[in-house]
Amino acid sequence: MEVLVIDATSAIATATARQLVASGDMELHLVARNSDRLEALAEELKIRGAVKISTHLLDLVSFGHHEECVSQAIANLGQLDLALICHGSLGD
């Protein structure tokens, strides 16, 4: 399965990505704004058995770059079976 994970370093996205990888035969394109956390997550998911992982740095409030992000995901994965969007704002 080919999955795009938006705001991949959020708690819910990370937990879901771990579950997806545990189910087997998973290719992921991870999108987040913090490069250190994104690369750490990508490495962890490789260790957990992800077949393929690509990453994309993006601050999701940069709306003009969303189309490019999705296009890159499709180019890296070949297709998208699922898009997991875990981006939002938490108040105080």
Phi–psi pair at 39, nearest 5 degrees: -65, -35
What's the average model confidence in pLDDT over 10-32? Answer: 96
Supply 26's token pair.
């998973």
Secondary element (H or E) of residue 76: helix 66-77
pLDDT in tens, 35-90: 999 999 999 999 999 999 999 999 888 888 999 999 999 999 999 999 999 987 76
Looking at CATH, the fold of the domain delimited by 2-85 is given as Rossmann fold (3.40.50)
Quick one: average pLDDT of 18-25? 96
Q: What per-residue confidence (pLDDT) applies to 61?
A: 82
Q: What residues does each domain of the chain span?
A: 2-85
pLDDT for position 81: 97
| Separation CA 24–CA 30 (nearest Å) | 17
For the entire predicted model, the pTM comes to: 0.90
